[in-house]
Structure 1
Amino acid sequence: MIRHTPYQRAAPSPLPSEGWRQHSACADQDVDPDAMFPDGKGKTAELRYAKGLCFQCPVLRECLDDAMRIEGRAGPDYRWGVRGGLTGGERAALYRRNPGRWGALRWRS
């Protein structure tokens, strides 16, 4: 029996480092790429739409892992768009809570 502790990390994605992108909900031809980049305040409808796409996406975890790995220690001003269901500010806060987890990510091919 496997016992899970709060110190265990999820297993790396079985998808290749870039192959997951073709399975993303936002890669659908009917989705405007700009929809994932709601800019400015007062864009709550656009933000809800982008996050809604993420939350029904089969590769949400891979997208978030990729964003966190690429963005690293960047602050919220250098994180754009909604990726992995989170805004740039939300990803920056997540990184600050546990920076070691994201720096250690490595994709397996």
Structure 2
Amino acid sequence: MPAPAWQLEGLCLADPDLFTSDDNRGELVEEARDTCNRCPVQPECLAAALAEEGTTAANMRGSIRGGMTPTERWRISRPKKTAA
């Protein structure tokens, strides 16, 4: 299946290794976030990441996507607990 056309506009294409680092902390993350914040397709990227990952656990996710770490994306996508 071909990649969506919007992916060809991503600023991450200039340095993909920055976004796939196993280190989701510190300077590399901030540099990746800065790039995402300037990216014209950041909303599409984040929406795609959330849709693809669903409720997958944070430790099973990877990469900075849509300006968020795997843990940050998990926090907004995990099932909400309901009061019993």
State the TM-score, normalizing by the size of structure 1.
0.65
Q: Please name the residue that 1:54 is paired with.
A: 36
Across the two proteins, how many residue pairs are aligned to each other?
Answer: 78
Instruction: Give the alignment of 1:17-96 within 5 angstroms.
Output: 18-27=4-13, 31-40=14-23, 43-96=25-78
SS in structure 2 at match of 1:86: coil
SS in structure 2 at match of 1:40: coil
**Larger radius of gyration, structure 1 or 2?**
1
Name structure 1 gaps, 5 residues minimum: 1-16, 99-109
Instruction: Give the alignment of 1:7-26 within 5 angstroms.
Output: 18-26=4-12
Higher helix residue share: 2
The amino acid of 1:77's aligned partner reads N
Indicate the RMSD between aligned Cα atoms, in angstroms: 1.8
Report the identity percentage: 32
2:75 and 2:20 map into 1 onto residues whose CA distance is 18
Name structure 2 gaps, 5 residues minimum: none
Q: Extract structure 1 runs of 4+ deviating beyond 4 A.
A: none
